[in-house]
Amino acid sequence: MPSSRSPMEERAEARRGPPMAGVLPPPPLLLLLLLLSVCSCAAAAASGAPVGEDYVRPPAAPARLCGVHRKALLSIFPWSEKKKASSSDSDPQQVHISLAGEKHMRITFVTDDNTVPSVVDYGTETGTYTSTSEGESTSYNYLMYSSGKIHHVVIGPLNDNTVYFYRCGGHGPEFQFKTPPAQFPLSLAVVGDLGQTSWTASTLDHIKQCEHDMLLLPGDLSYADYMQHLWDSFGTLVEPLASTRPWMVTEGNHEKESILFFKSGFQSYNARWKMPYEESGSTSNLYYSFEVAGVHAIMLGSYTDYDESSDQYAWLKADLAKVDRKRTPWLIVLLHAPWYNSNWAHQGEGDTMMAAMEPLLYAAHVDIVIAGHVHAYERAERVFDRGLNPCGAVHITIGDGGNREGLARRYRNPKPAWSVFREASFGHGELKVVNATHAHWTWHRNDDEEPVRTDDVWINSLAGSECIKGSSHEYRKILMSP
């Protein structure tokens, strides 16, 4: 039981990450371990016992095995057929876009043919490309896997709230996206711990049905877990959405894929999901910030250093000090391991990061903190220092996108005073920022293949509140200190 472990042990486990995160055995042994883990998973699900770091839903329907749809389970086997995502080696695959500084967009795509140039042609009329940008490319090797050519091309300046048509690598199919608006209203889709199961597919389908300007993902993307071709299949799975609206992501534990003395971590994630860290003054792809239509969003890294002497801490402090609440009345933060969590899964894993960084967020009057990691949904009141506080942030855990590990169903009781709503179901969130003072947050459960709106709350920005007017507040000094 998690309750019998000391915080030290929990932190040690947090550092260790998922069961396979330490030393990776040679491939044949790895396959054996994989088989064993699938069997033990099935056995544990039958007895209702917790498995590894997560809790697995008991088999509910014949179509499911170990809480995982059979199709999804098969897809984790490394010998499963690598499906060709495109008809020709030079065709762009796995297209996704992300904001790259003011009025710019980064277009990312992969080609099997490494002679394809890193160029994107674009314009506001279909088939007529009035501009061309050239970018950079990278590739990587991981054990016996060699990636395709991964292209990153920044385009712009672009107009706000405008549809652009584009083509990658100088030829191939046309894609299109819409840039976010310059002003409110702004609509953000939010999903964590996505994975690539049939639950993921229904979550993505529901997100597609909702109008959104951008998607935010607080970590755990592909659940490739060392099987590098699963990063490719994830790229293909999300392309229909991620090529049409910017996807802004931060890393979770499943992005790490480190191997002791051999791989330092985040190799595939950094190569494939390059975010605008340089544009926001950060020196690491693992944390950055961006601004969109009156929102300043900060993407923090739960799996890189965050103590007071760390680069991330110094960068966060500088970034927060720059925020102008007149220009961006909304200040939101995303990170992977939640700080306020009443689920038994991952208890205490966010504690050390919270101890280091929560005073900074409080001093800056952050409105909302969104986390993933726990495979369930939970919303807290405005909180600070483990208690209710009207000048603290609303904390939301939304690690229920549809990963193959199943749901985290067991909660601590009694429910803490700060926890308003908690439920172990797959789903996604939507944040509609209506104006400078009001935002509407909803959580949509994937119920019976229909998106059911389940949690629903209006959030008022702290900009212009009594909290911010009291600028002599002692915590304000933290941001101003050298």
The stretch among 211-219, 243-251, 346-354, 429-437 that binds ligand NAG (CB under 6 A) is: 429-437
Q: Which is nearer to ligand NAG, 224 or 394 (CB)?
A: 394
Q: What three-state secondary structure class fits 160?
A: coil
How many residues make contact with Fe ion (CB under 5 A)?
4
What number of helices (H) and strands (E) belong to the chain? 10, 26
In sequence order, the β-bridge partners of residue 396 are: 370, 379
434 binds, among Fe ion, ligand NAG, none (CB under 5 to 8 A by kind): ligand NAG
- Residue placing its CB nearer to Fe ion in the complex, 151 or 373: 373
> With binding defined as CB under 6 A, does residue 465 bind ligand NAG?
no
The listed partner (ligand NAG, Fe ion, none) that binds 220, CB under 5 to 8 Å by sort, is Fe ion
Residue 432 or 445 having the CB closest to ligand NAG: 432
Q: Which of 64, 373, 379, 382 binds Fe ion (CB under 5 A)?
A: 373
Give the shortest CB-464-to-ligand NAG separation in angstroms: 10
205 to 234, contacts with Fe ion by CB under 5 A? 220
With CB under 6 A as the contact rule, the residue among 46, 434, 452, 480 that binds ligand NAG is 434
HSE-up (13 A, CA, CB side) for residue 99: 26
CB burial string 16-40: b at 16+ within 10 A, e below: ebbebbeebeeeeebeeebeeebee
> Shortest CA distance to 193 belongs to which of 349, 338, 401, 378?
401
Secondary structure of residue 34 in the 3-state scheme = helix
Structure tokens at 455: 């949690």
Query: In the set 133, 304, 435, 454, which binds ligand NAG (CB under 6 A)?
Result: 435
- Say which residue the tokens 């709350």 belong to: 457
63 lies in the site for ligand NAG, by CB under 6 A: no
Residue 403 beta carbon to Fe ion: minimum distance, rounded to whole angstroms: 8
Q: Are residues 89 and 113 in contact, defined by beta-carbon separation less than 8 angstroms?
A: yes
Cβ–Cβ under 8 Å, residues 319 and 280: yes
The one segment of 20-28, 230-238, 239-247, 431-439 that binds ligand NAG by CB under 6 A: 431-439
Q: How far apart are alpha carbons 108 and 401 in whole angstroms?
A: 23
Judged by CB, which is closer to ligand NAG: 124, or 437? 437
End-to-end CA distance of the chain: 44
Least Å from the CB of residue 99 to ligand NAG: 25
d(CA 436, CA 315): 26
How far out from the chain centre does Cα 166 lie? 25
Nearest distance, CB of residue 430 and ligand NAG, angstroms: 15
86 vs 437, beta carbon nearer ligand NAG: 437
Shortest separation between residue 435's beta carbon and ligand NAG, angstroms: 4
Residue 313 sits at φ, ψ, to 5 deg, of -65, -45
The residue range among 123-131, 261-269, 284-292, 433-441 that interacts with ligand NAG, by the rule CB under 6 A, is: 433-441
Structure token pair of residue 22: 């330490």
> Is residue 437 part of the contact set for ligand NAG (CB under 6 A)?
yes
- DSSP designation for 469: H
Angle, helix 198-209 to helix 229-242, in steps of 10 degrees: 20
Extract the tokens encoding 424.
Answer: 């172990």
- Look at phi and psi of residue 387 and say left if phi exceeds 0, alpha if psi is from -120 to 50, else beta: beta
Closest to Fe ion by CB, 37 or 138:
37
x-or-dash pattern for Fe ion, window 239-278, by CB under 5 A? -------------xx-------------------------
Q: How far is the CB of 405 from Fe ion (least distance, A)?
A: 9
- Taking CB under 6 A as the criterion, the residue among 438, 442, 464, 467 binding ligand NAG is 438
Beta strands per DSSP E along 415-462: 419-423, 427-433, 438-447, 450-460
Is position 346 annotated as part of the catalytic site? yes
The answer to whether residue 454 forms part of the interface with ligand NAG (CB under 6 A) is no
Q: Of 56 and 439, which CB lies nearer to ligand NAG in the complex structure?
A: 439
Among Fe ion, ligand NAG, none, residue 437 binds (CB under 5-8 Å by kind): ligand NAG
Q: Sheet containing 119-123: which strands, arranged edge to edge?
A: 131-134, 119-123, 163-168, 174-178
Looking at 346, 365, 375, 428, which residue is catalytic? Answer: 346
Residues near ligand NAG (CB under 6 A): 434-435, 437-438
Cite the active site residues.
Answer: 346
Residues near Fe ion (CB under 5 A): 220, 252-253, 373
